[in-house]
Amino acid sequence: QKMLAWQRTSFHFQPKKNWMNDPNGPLYYKGWYHLFYQYNPEAAVWGNIVWGHAVSKDLIHWQHLPVAMVADQWYDINGVWTGSATFLPNGDLIMLYTGSTNELVQVQNLAYPADPSDPLLKKWIKYEGNPVLIPPPGIGLKDFRDPTTAWTTPEGKWRITIGSKINKTGISLVYDTIDFKKFELLKGALHGVPGTGMWECVDFYPVSKIVENGLDTSENGPAVKHVLKSSLDDDRNDYYALGTYDAGAGKWVPDNPIIDVGIGLRYDYGNFYASKTFYDQEKKRRVLWAWIKETDSEAADICRGWASLQSIPRTIKYDKKTGSNIITWPVAEVENLRSNNNEFNKVVVKPGSIVPLEVGSATQLDIMAEFEIDQNVLKKVDGSNATYDCIKSGGSGERGALGPFGLLVLTDNSLSEQTPIYFYIAKDLTGNFNTFFCNDLTRSSEATDVRKLIYGSTVPVLQGEKLSLRTLVDHSIVESFAQNGRTAITSRVYPTKAIYENAKIYLFNNATDISVTATIKIWQMNSANIKSN
Ligand code: DQQ
């Protein structure tokens, strides 16, 4: 246990011990942010699921509270599963969640705070008429879970959506309600995509095409686009698409069917699942949480006594510059943990070289880096390899004309353990560039019980933009963002040597034909204050 102690994070949310998975019902209430989460109070593996609960003033420093809801009724005795919060116009709060019944049927239940005057919302009452929804005809008894936050319809009713599947088509069912006790199923679905399987933890919300603020879930109109997100049970990733919502019909259509939900864009191209957003009415932003699972063995989880993290909460916005994706970015409050700024200006990294960045211990960092490349050199390089793929490539060791180049984090002095985060530029025969953003875990640990994949995808780079990345390092998690959050990659990393003061950071350039000029700011990060209950 002691050996693995360093893997515990310092500014990510995690319970003191045991297993955690999905974020549930995040909300802001009477001065406090609340995070509920799927929690096993008994062990560091999934099971006995109840709602863990913690509160924060700033989404960074947390106070753990007693479990909010336990499995004590026939309709949730096999698990108090994922759910979402809705504020009513009078400020009242309701929670809808999935229960796994005594017969393992998935049903939806209603709960509300026992004492709305308690800003900590410690006690919850389950509605006596639960369950409020059972699987409708034609839907599998175990394919009906994770109700969303409700939004209002043009008729003034409430509307929710719930993920499911029919054969291999992932769908999201739509229900209208007046009181959250009786529901009416709409015909068809909000949307469905063949071949995507069960849709878990569906999220559905508006983003503004014009303003920087986030939007409350019921907002709509010509300046709004709607994001539909689904967590695909089959491949354990969170996919989204931008599209148009028809409130009259209760249907949503993707802007581009080629990148529909489940077959196109992801919030994050690493380890990031079962995410949920909420509208933060205090700061007028939409905030995204996600479950970051372990990628070592279950035996290691049990030995450590805990499993899983929550991502750093991110603000989520429509990308006005590209018009084709959203951007996710760590909430501004994270920056309050920054101390000891180290700056490295215009460091030239030649083809095939590495440059150490002296910052002391490199286990708790916030890194911002920009890379410049001589445009004349870029023009001269022959085009040929436009079809690069991070995942199928040879990783950071495979050299191309224009990449890879970037950072090595959680790296020991001998470089035997290293976690590269990098760009790779591919140029086609017509002179067009395609930029990829990748994270190679193949050499991240000498432990043998760790999954060591290469993650990544393309990132849009517009005319005149420098390549930029930001990376948060926190012991066993690395969260990276390219081009201010257009593409993100989160990974869990388990070095055995690159720990404590032996963890270093380097610049590297494995391109054969270009030098890159890097300008970097690196902050040491203070630990968040996490109080036990
Ligand atoms: N986790 C919950 C389910 C949800 C799944 C159970 C997603 O409600 O579908 O712990 O990780």
In the 8-state DSSP scheme, what is residue 299? H
> Nearest-5° angle of CA 168, CA 172, CA 175?
140
State the pLDDT at residue 441.
Answer: 98
Q: What is the pLDDT of residues 309-367, one digit of tens each?
A: 999 999 999 999 999 999 999 999 999 999 989 999 999 999 999 999 999 989 999 99
pLDDT digits (tens, 9 = 90+) for 167-210: 999 999 999 999 999 999 999 999 999 999 999 999 999 999 99
Tell me the per-residue pLDDT of 476-487, one tens digit each, with 9 for 90 and over. 999 999 999 999
> Closest Cα to residue 82, out of 129, 105, 49, 131?
49
**82 CA → ligand 1 middle, Å:** 6
pLDDT of amino acid 393: 96
Residue 137 has pLDDT above 80, yes or no: yes
Q: For the segment 254-283, what is each residue's pLDDT rounded down to a tens digit?
A: 999 999 999 999 999 999 999 999 999 999
Q: How many helices and strands in the chain, by DSSP H and E?
A: 2, 37
Report ipTM for this prediction.
0.99
Cβ neighbourhood burial of 201 (10 Å; 0-12, 13-18, 19+)? buried
Radius of gyration of the chain (CA): 23
Hey, whose CA ends up nearest to atom 7 of ligand 1?
A: 274
* pLDDT tops 60 at residue 52: yes
CA of 98 to the centre of ligand 1 (A): 9
121: left (phi over 0), alpha (psi -120 to 50) or beta: left
In the chain the first and final C-alpha atoms are separated, in Å, by 23
Q: Which of 104, 145, 199, 232 to mutate to test the pocket of ligand 1 (most atoms within 8 A of CB)?
A: 145
Question: Strands (DSSP E) along 14-123, which ranges?
Answer: 18-29, 32-40, 50-56, 62-69, 80-87, 93-100, 106-113
Would the CB of 274 count as within 6 Å of ligand 1?
A: yes
Which atom number of ligand 1 is nearest to the Cα of residue 146? Answer: 8
Question: Does the Cβ of 38 fall within 6 Å of ligand 1?
Answer: yes
Q: What is the pLDDT of residues 517-532, one digit of tens each?
A: 999 999 999 999 999 8
Q: Is 145 in the pocket of ligand 1 (CB under 6 A)?
A: yes
- The verdict on pTM exceeding 0.90 is yes
Confidence of residue 449 (pLDDT cuts 50, 70, 90): very high
Q: Judge if the beta carbon of residue 49 lies within 6 A of ligand 1.
A: yes
Vertex 3: Cα angle to 2 and 5 (nearest 5)? 60
Say whether pLDDT at 383 is over 90: no
Does residue 98's CB lie within 6 angstroms of at least one atom of ligand 1? yes
Instruction: Kindly report the protein residue whose alpha carbon is nearest to atom 11 of ligand 1.
Output: 274
pLDDT tens for each residue of 97-118: 999 999 999 999 999 999 999 9
Q: Which of 22, 199, 275 to mutate to test the pocket of ligand 1 (most atoms within 8 A of CB)?
A: 22
Nearest-CA residue for ligand 1 atom 10 is 81
For the Cβ of 22 lying below 6 angstroms from any atom of ligand 1, the answer is yes
pLDDT above 60 (res 424): yes
Per-chain mean pLDDT for the chain: 96
The two three-digit tokens of residue 357, written as one number: 């960045």
pLDDT at 322: 97
Q: What is the mean pLDDT of residues 402-430?
A: 95
| 245 CA distance to ligand 1 middle (Å) | 26
Q: How far is the CA of 231 from the centre of ligand 1 (A)?
A: 10
- Angstrom distances, CA of residue 533 to CA of 28, 53, 64, 69, 530: 19, 10, 5, 16, 10
What distance in angstroms lies between residue 156's CA and the mean position of ligand 1's atoms?
30
Identify the DSSP state of 456. Answer: E
Q: Is the pLDDT score of 386 beyond 80?
A: no
Question: Percent helix, strand, coil in the chain (nearest 5)?
Answer: 5, 45, 45
pLDDT of 495 > 90? The answer is yes
22 catalytic residue (yes or no):
yes
CA of 81 to the centre of ligand 1 (A): 6
CA 409 to centroid of ligand 1, rounded, Å: 32
- pLDDT band of residue 2 (cuts 50, 70, 90) is low
- Looking from the CA of residue 98, the nearest atom of ligand 1 is 8
CB-ligand 1 contact for 82 (6 Å cutoff): yes
Is the C-beta atom of 200 inside 6 A of ligand 1?
A: yes
Q: Give the pLDDT of residue 3.
A: 64
Q: Which atom belonging to ligand 1 lies closest to the Cα atom of 231? A: 7
Closest listed residue to residue 401, CA positions, set 510, 476, 238, 281: 510
56 CB under 6 A from ligand 1? no
What digits encode the pLDDT tens for the residues 238-250? 999 999 999 999 9
Ligand 1 centroid, distance to 38 Cα (angstroms):
8
Give, for ligand 1, the residue of 19, 20, 201 to mutate: max count of ligand atoms closer than 8 Å to Cβ: 201
21 C-beta closer than 6 A to ligand 1: yes
